[in-house]
Amino acid sequence: MRNFNENTITDAVLERIAGATDPRNKQVSEALVRHLHAFVREVRPTQKEWEYGIDFLTRTGHMCDDKRQEFILLSDALGVSMLVDAINHPVPEGATETTVLGPFFVQASPEKSNGEDISGPMEGDPMLVTGSASTVDGRPLAGAVVDVWHSDDDGYYDVQQLDKIGDLAMRARFHTDQNGRFNFWSIKPAAYPIPHDGTVGDMLEVQGRHRWRPAHVHFMISAPGFEQLVTHVFVAGDQYLDSDVVFGVKDSLIREFVRCPPGRAPDGRMVDSEYFHLNYDFGLKQVASSARAA
């Protein structure tokens, strides 16, 4: 077959992949061709615009290395990451809602004990975080691994300023106690713009969008037999809750970071200045029995 035109080329490509043996690969390939061709038919790019698109994707790829993943950021800013999250994480009663992982998670996070202050050299408003991990029907999960990370009060993560602060801070890995509880001290995070010195920043600019995420603390909680929970808790009242650049906010994840006077804090510590207190109780879903068997 030859001499394809605008009306015949899509079917020709679909026919060419009809022999794919793996059904999932075939389904994905066919959908890719159909949607990509439909996009081009709708947009009718000039040759120059098409070249710009190729160059945009090339520059996006060139920005990626082991520290920067511009393609994930693109997926985040286009709402695709949250769409994939929504498809894969239905939330039964009692389970905590999920949201994007983001680029600032670090696998080798420092192990800390409950009650420790993880702010390192950072200054800001003291923040006590208390919380728990339990099953969806409220049974405490002892020994669950709780990874936390958040920005400073200027909106920067430790990994964005390692040359200045020297070491990881405002992140740690805790284990829940016998009652499924954990607690730590840090500083209250601020809202921040996502990295915008690359193609995603260019895209936001032309789309007339701002770059900001509302202030939040990230949590990743793991326990054997349970689905790993990746989520954040957002600061109530933040001005960007309704326009998060990556579409990650859910009502159930917004909490008051309660301003408390100096004195004895809920963890028993004497505090000589005002501080903020966040408490959040997380519910983890059991891994489906079919997935456990696989």
Residue 214 within binding range of ligand BEZ, rule CB under 6 A: no
Taking the complex as a whole, the smallest distance from the CB of residue 109 to ligand BEZ amounts, in Å, to 14
Residue 145 within binding range of ligand BEZ, rule CB under 6 A: no
Q: Tell me if 170 sits within 8 A of 151, measured CB to CB.
A: yes
Helix/strand/coil for 257: coil
Residue 194 interacts, among ligand BEZ, Fe ion, none and using kind-specific CB cut-offs from 5 to 8 Å, with ligand BEZ
C-beta closer to Fe ion: residue 102 or 180: 102
Taking the complex as a whole, the smallest distance from the CB of residue 238 to Fe ion amounts, in Å, to 12
Alpha-carbon span 57 to 77, nearest angstrom: 15
N-to-C CA span, the chain? 44
* Residues 6 or more apart whose Cβ sits within 8 Å of residue 170: 118, 119, 120, 122, 149, 150, 151, 152, 157, 158, 186, 187, 189
C-beta closer to ligand BEZ: residue 190 or 194: 194
C-beta closer to Fe ion: residue 95 or 190: 190
Residue 249 within binding range of ligand BEZ, rule CB under 6 A: no
Residue 171 within binding range of ligand BEZ, rule CB under 6 A: no
C-beta closer to ligand BEZ: residue 145 or 194: 194
Residue 188 interacts, among Fe ion, ligand BEZ, none and using kind-specific CB cut-offs from 5 to 8 Å, with none
Token readout for 262 is 């100096």
Q: Tell me if 150 sits within 8 A of 189, measured CB to CB.
A: yes
Residue 133 interacts, among Fe ion, ligand BEZ, none and using kind-specific CB cut-offs from 5 to 8 Å, with none
Q: Which of residues 57-86 bind ligand BEZ (CB under 6 A)?
A: 73, 76
Q: Which of residues 49-108 bind Fe ion (CB under 5 A)?
A: 102
Alpha-carbon span 249 to 240, nearest angstrom: 9
Residue 100 within binding range of ligand BEZ, rule CB under 6 A: yes
Sheet holding 254-255, edge to edge: 171-175, 145-150, 216-222, 229-235, 254-255
Alpha-carbon span 283 to 140, nearest angstrom: 9
Query: Closest residue (Cβ) to ligand BEZ?
Result: 102
Positions in the binding site for ligand BEZ (CB under 6 A): 73, 76, 100, 102-104, 194, 213, 246
